[in-house]
Structure 1
Amino acid sequence: MTASPLDRPKSLTAMAFDRLLESITQGEIAYGTMLSEKAVAETFGTSKTPIREAFFQLQSLGLVEIQPQKGCYVPYPTVDKVRELCELRIELECYALRLSMERNQKRLLKSISKTFAQMEEMRDDYRYETYHKLDQDFHKAFFAACGNTLLGDIYGSLDPRIQALRANFSSPNEQLFAVSRDEHAAIVQAIADNDLASASRTIHAHITRVRDIYSDGIQTLKQSDPSLADH
């Protein structure tokens, strides 16, 4: 039987893209890194062509900048870019939350309660990589239950940038971890109480606080490295 497209193995470009995307969103390839087609190709054991194509795909997600004659750069986000991203996050998440509570409140509550319980298990053994993944799952639950796949697709297009910010600026700080925990707990409780207004206010405050942490991190980097002043 002839294999269908779904049965075929991933292309070299797709594999290179997946590996680079994971490395950037997990912070293994940090902001400020310059990526060489030749070096990445040698690391992956492939030619430069699939690496170049993967770079173009990453650029379309806003994760890298391709600089002619120089290479592929993972840029530091500007404070304005962080503000714009967080403003859009607030609007999308609050809207998805409203739809989810109207259409699938029980499903939403079950999903976020399960994720929050996993977050609670980490209180005495904080592993920030795992916590970041759980944090991502918590917020994506609004879109999984909202009954609007297009809304989820829009959020999904932003998600890599959100993950990269978490990986680069959400350090394992015990005090911030406690605040984050309390905010997520408040959101779960508000959904359980069918209190959309309270849940939305907490989401707004939560993302605004995260925005300020990221913005402070960028400003600190600029002060320590004058070459970033124009970024």
Structure 2
Amino acid sequence: MSSDKLSADWSAKKIVRPQSLTIILADHIRELIVNGEIELGALISENDIANKLSVSRTPVRAALQKLEMERLVQILPQRGTFVFEFNAQEMQQTCEMRQILETGALRVALQHDRKKLLAVLEHHLVLGQEALQHDPDNFRAADTAFHMALIESSQNRDLIDFYQTIINRIRAFLNRLARTSDELQGSQRDHETIVALLREGHDGEAQEKLHWHLGGLQRMFQEKYARQ
């Protein structure tokens, strides 16, 4: 192939630019779902969103397709777009995947830089304790940040990206869950125990404690939702 032919082929191809409006809309709708402003199972109207945000339906549709890839919504032909709902099986599968990802991330992060991992997690322990003492409503954010810091410490882009596909569904559930002060403090104590075990070099026990801690989401679902 000649250089002229190659140049012609390259120049004929269009550069696909980022759909920034689509990303902005996806971020906005995602937070509405996660924070509970749009209910689980609710029908989402493209027209309503487009009208309220003064945009066309095209980027709204693209944003919803992006959220479908994250399993936050389901697009059903001839029926519409619906926000996801948890059932017992999906909760179990989500918790199992989260356990696999976080315990794996912990193992990888320890291999990369134990001192840095401990410093990061200890920082988030402080933030969690401050939230409990001064603004318990913000503990959810501190809790999520602790686990996200653990994931990011793996420095594994594929692992981090895949974790993002489940964490927002987990946040959506937790933000709708009325957790008692004792439950919030129990979560913080679990974090402290995990870090203490790592500090003492008991990595296996720390992974076991993390695995059990993450299973608490399924236990809460069974106690507070499955019986309803």
TM-score by length of 2: 0.85
Q: Which moved more, 1:143-152 or 1:171-180?
A: 143-152
Deviation at 1:80, TM superposition (A): 0.6
Same amino acid, percent of matched pairs: 28
The SS at the match of 1:124 is helix
The SS at the match of 1:72 is strand
Contact 1:64–1:74 under 8 Å retained in 2: yes
Indicate whether 1:191 and 2:198 are aligned.
Answer: yes
Distance in 2, matches of 1:14 and 1:94, equals 30
Contact 2:34–2:169 under 8 Å retained in 1: yes
> Which runs of 5 or more residues in structure 2 are unaligned?
1-14
1:155 corresponds in structure 2 to: 163
RMSD of equivalent CA atoms = 2.0
Equivalent residue letter for 1:200: Q
Indicate whether 1:56 and 2:56 are aligned.
Answer: no
2:212 corresponds in structure 1 to: 205
Structure 1 residue corresponding to 2:123, chosen from 114, 124, 149: 114
User: Structure 1 residues 27 and 153 mapped into 2: Cα distance closer, same or farther (>3 Å)?
Assistant: same
Largest Rg, 1 or 2:
2
Distance in 2, matches of 1:9 and 1:197, equals 43
Indicate whether 1:146 and 2:154 are aligned.
Answer: yes
2:81 corresponds in structure 1 to: 72
Indicate whether 1:47 and 2:56 are aligned.
Answer: yes
Contact 2:46–2:61 under 8 Å retained in 1: yes
Deviation at 1:180, TM superposition (A): 0.7
Equivalent residue letter for 2:135: Y
Deviation at 1:10, TM superposition (A): 5.9
Structure 1 residue corresponding to 2:139, chosen from 103, 119, 131: 131
Deviation at 1:97, TM superposition (A): 0.6
> Which runs of 5 or more residues in structure 1 are unaligned?
224-231
Distance in 1, matches of 2:190 and 2:129, equals 13
2:222 corresponds in structure 1 to: 215
Equivalent residue letter for 2:107: R
Tell me how many residue pairs correspond in the alignment.
Answer: 213
Distance in 2, matches of 1:40 and 1:119, equals 35
Equivalent residue letter for 2:30: L
TM-score by length of 1: 0.84
Contact 1:78–1:218 under 8 Å retained in 2: no
1:5-24 residue CA offsets vs partner (Å, 9 max, x unmatched): 9xx99632222111001111
Contact 2:131–2:142 under 8 Å retained in 1: no
Distance in 1, matches of 2:168 and 2:192, equals 25
Deviation at 1:88, TM superposition (A): 1.2
Contact 2:42–2:83 under 8 Å retained in 1: yes
Contact 1:63–1:161 under 8 Å retained in 2: yes
1:228 corresponds in structure 2 to: none
